[in-house]
Amino acid sequence: MNKTILEAQILRDKYTKAATLNIDVEGEWILYAGDSIETINRTYPVLTGTGSGTFPLNVSPSIRIYFELVAREEKMLLSETHLPMAGAYNFRDLGGIRTQEGRYVKWGKLFRADDLSNLTKEDVEYLASIPLTSVVDFRAQSEARRTRDKLPDTVQFTYPIAITPGNLSTEGIQANLLKTNIDLHMKHMNRLLVSDPACVRAFRVFFAIAQNNLSAPLVYHCSAGKDRAGMATALVLFALGVDEETVMQDYMMSNIYLSDKYSAFIAKYPRAESIFTAKRMFLKAAINQIKRDHGTIMNFLTKELKVDIVRMRRIYLEKEIF
């Protein structure tokens, strides 16, 4: 009899950081918690229940908490996918994403984000509790100079790796708006991210950083967290063995998290919508470009980006197949 994959999410309020469990399951379940995966207290549950629903959690709002859910003799590790940053919109943990082999990306190791210049004091303290160690900034120098990252004291390493395509500075947006067909332009930009020699070099450096055991927990970001950080995420997930449809679904989630960030600008300049939107055809254009140039995505990862697949999976995937 095959196991059923548990359906559950931890949600955090963007401003109060109050946590809730959203669960879809039959029968009884138990939830344990800790301030790290290694310190989850499996003696005293933080919550027990029966059946589906949304349940408030009595845990600290100021630090990140990790959970283990046990139901029907199955278990899963949990934390919030969308981090509750009052000063950011698209800050996400890659943890919990399932690979084709049935393994899961570790929680609290790899994060993707939009710009970090508006983080609040509470946001910074929250990130310190992870504790965030490394930051990769894909923004162009002009973007980074205007809006400098606000980072916790736990950050030991910062890496500016400028990637010009995807520049969402004022000048970059204005240049994009001059394009006759913005969708075609965005598809071209995504192809450039995986074919332009400077972009390829940048992602090669990124993977060299990610493959260093001392780098994690690591966040990589750009301005919106959907194009340059979105491409980095797709490449990371492919390296970890995640299927293309799951990669695409993760890419498209930026539309949910960025809806408030750019709504006023899009209302004023409707032609700009595609610049601030993740569309399947944009990422698909890049995937097709990789396959045309290299045959397979794995060839691109291992031969061009020098990704050590075994090392990446050892660092970032859970050992168990739940």
Query: What per-residue confidence (pLDDT) applies to 143?
Result: 87
pLDDT of amino acid 2: 41
* Measured distance CA(2)–CA(259) in Å, rounded: 38
> What is the reported pLDDT for 179?
60
Cα separation of the two ends of the chain: 14
The pLDDT, as a whole number, for residue 1 is 33
pTM: 0.94
Per-residue burial over 119-144, b = 16 or more CB atoms within 10 Å of its CB, e = otherwise: beebbbebbbbbbbbbbbbbbbeebb
Question: Could you report the average pLDDT of every consecutive run of 10 residues in the chain (322 residues)?
Answer: 70 96 95 96 96 96 96 92 97 97 96 97 97 96 91 97 74 58 91 96 98 96 96 98 98 96 86 90 98 98 98 93 48
